[in-house]
Amino acid sequence: MAIDTKELMKQVGKIRVITSRLVDDKLSGEYHSVFRGQGIEFDEVREYIAGDDIRSIDWNVTARMGHPYIKRYSEERELTIIFLVDISGSQCFGSAKRSKAEVAAEITCLLALSAVKNQDKVGLILFSDRIEKTIPPRKGRRAAIRLVREVLAAEETRRGTDIAGALRFLNNIQKRKAVVFIISDFMDSNYVKELRVTARRHDVICCPVSDPVESNLPDVGLIELQDPENGNLFIVDTSSRKVRNEFKAAAEAHAAELATSFRRLKMDTIHLSTDRPFVDEVRKMFKKRQTRAGR
């Protein structure tokens, strides 16, 4: 998906404008309540007031001042958000106005802008069947926009997908707990074990990306298709009901397998498609987490 610099910045600007409108106070507030800090940190000391928990008394300060003082703590707000984005060949596909790669860039922008508005750090790992690029977590709006630019600017590749390898890489470089968004069509196998390991260390949200044609092949007669990850060409008779049904059954089986894996691992998901907006899916996930947490 190589594009020139002028066109790239035009796309980045368009996505930034669209997603900035969505990152309003409501969405930002939902983000803050859903993704809390990893603990508490010391804030200040103040004089003891009747009714305060005596376990909070700072005895060193109390001894110096001659009367009781207590320690106050606040939530350790700062989080690290990592976007693990699939840029393998299948991500370049899109039958509507957007490709799966463009949807990945848009959801990255929306969530990254929400994160930096709450003073969190955002980082990026681009992968295919290998790690293509890594951007360490940084704060600020410029950091968020850079992630979008890198997703859009990723070179088109016919390489395959190695989700397990990407997860192992993440676990090796990110020792502290992070919120991890995995954005992929998950057209891969043998990654569930590594996904389980990652879920123990980090807060993982899976974002499967799909295109409607992948589950409903249109009746347009004989067509030549190319596997985007290995370049192989093959002829498909889309006028055959049997062919279309088999195509649909395979897509449904893949979706069902994904749903089962995510459910068993108790992972939250944001379902993305190239033919519809996704902000409602984001809010659905937020609401689910809020309900589960009793907030």
Mean pLDDT across the chain:
83
Best CA proximity match to 83, nearest among 48, 133, 35, 25? 133
Contact 105, 201 (CB under 8 A): no
Q: pTM for the full model?
A: 0.79
25-76 pLDDT per residue, tens: 567 677 777 776 555 555 578 888 887 778 888 888 889 889 998 887 645 5
264-291 pLDDT per residue, tens: 999 999 999 999 888 889 988 988 888 8
Domains of the chain: 5-34+78-293 (3.40.50.410), 40-75 (no CATH)
77-90 pLDDT per residue, tens: 578 999 999 999 88
Q: Is 105 exposed, middle or buried (0-12, 13-18, 19+ CB in 10 A)?
A: buried
Q: Measured between alpha carbons, how far is 186 from 214 in angstroms, rounded to an integer? A: 13
Question: What's the residue count for the chain?
Answer: 295
Three-class SS state of 82: strand
